[in-house]
Amino acid sequence: MPFPSLGHGIGLRTRHFASFLAERPPVDWVEAVTENFMAPGGRPIAVLEKVRREIPVVLHGVSLAIGSVDPIPERYLADLERLVRRIQPALVSDHLCWGTHRGHYLHDLLPLPYTEEALAHVVSRVQEVQDRIGRRLLLENPSSYVGFKDSTMVEWEFLAELSRRSGCGILLDVNNVYVSARNFGFDPLTYLDGIPADRVGYFHLAGHSDKGKYLLDTHDGAVPAAVWDLYRQALRRFGRVPTLVEWDDRIPPLEEVVAESRRAAAVEAEVLVAPRRLAS
């Protein structure tokens, strides 16, 4: 089944709740961090329901911990299932990572060793979640800072094979590809080439911080020029793919985040539409 054509969106953040409802900004869709809206009451879920009545919402989790060896907590699955039923999101995504251990949450997107053992484990867990929520799950490539001596494949091979075996979609975070490429010294274009085009459901764009010896995925600023360049390459490789701008720290006024999203739309037009016009 093809992925929905959502257009260009932004992450819906608490700081923007009031202005989002008042201004109805020109964005095609929003992404909501799943866990922030699982509480049964309060303002967040009320705002999300209002927004959902007007535009599509994608639920994007940070705590599923699909690669953890711990069983997926029933409480989490039940909350996720309930929220999916309540919001009827266009897509449901989380990260290719682990983050729970012996019943405790580490609240981070920790990298996995890319081994056959890990692959078989994640495939079965994806199937468990997809069966539970009755939908395809999309998994995002994480930003990574450490690798494993035991890894027998690179991340894009793991992700492509995971998608093939489990049927999950791929949320390709262009900024994360760039950050990990710098942190491990691989070519980000090789990463893009290794991802099957028909499995990518949407892109993420975000900012990062240069810490000297490494890049940190901070989401605390505008999308850097190098990430825009990689986004252009991704558009050439994958074609028109829904794109979302994330901004999670030092969050500016809503119009600034919206402007980044409009810029993504302009870049898409520049890459995908302009050559056709030239050809005609």
Partner 1 sequence: MTLAETQALFRQAITSPSPLPEERLEACFAGTPDLPAAERIGIYAGMYRSRLGDALRETFPKLLRFLGDERFAALAEDYLQRHPSEHHDVGQVGRRLAAFLRLYPDPDRPDLADLAELEWARQEVFFAPAAKPVGTEAFAGLDPAAFARTALVLSPALRILVLDHAVQPLWRRLEDGDPPGPPSPGASALAVWRSGFDVFHSPLPLDEAVALEGAASGDPLARICAAFSGRQDPAGAAHAALSSWLGEGWIVAVADRLPARADRKRAEPADVLPALDRMRLATG
Interface positions with partner 1 (CB under 8 A):
35-36, 38-44, 46, 63, 67-69, 73, 75-76, 79, 98, 101, 103-108, 110, 112-113, 115, 117-118, 121, 145-151, 183-185, 213-214, 216
Strand-pair partners of 244: 9, 204
**Measured from the CB of residue 39, what is the shortest distance to partner 1 in angstroms?**
4
**Measured from the CB of residue 4, what is the shortest distance to partner 1 in angstroms?**
26
When the beta carbons of 2 and 41 are compared against partner 1, the nearer one is: 41
Residues 230, 179 contacting (CB under 8 angstroms): no
**Measured from the CB of residue 104, what is the shortest distance to partner 1 in angstroms?**
4
Round to whole Å and give the CA distance between 4 and 242.
8
Indicate the helix (H) or strand (E) that contains 47.
helix 43-52
Residues 233, 267 contacting (CB under 8 angstroms): no
**Measured from the CB of residue 118, what is the shortest distance to partner 1 in angstroms?**
5
Q: HSE of 210 in the Cβ direction (CA atoms, 13 Å)?
A: 5
**Measured from the CB of residue 262, what is the shortest distance to partner 1 in angstroms?**
30
When the beta carbons of 214 and 228 are compared against partner 1, the nearer one is: 214
Round to whole Å and give the CA distance between 92 and 223.
24
**Would you tell me the crossing angle of helices 225-238 and 254-268 to the nearest 10 degrees?**
40
When the beta carbons of 198 and 210 are compared against partner 1, the nearer one is: 210
When the beta carbons of 2 and 103 are compared against partner 1, the nearer one is: 103
When the beta carbons of 53 and 149 are compared against partner 1, the nearer one is: 149
When the beta carbons of 45 and 258 are compared against partner 1, the nearer one is: 45
**Measured from the CB of residue 115, what is the shortest distance to partner 1 in angstroms?**
7
CA distances to 72, 79, 123, 211 from 6, in Å: 30, 25, 27, 34
103: three-class secondary structure by DSSP: coil
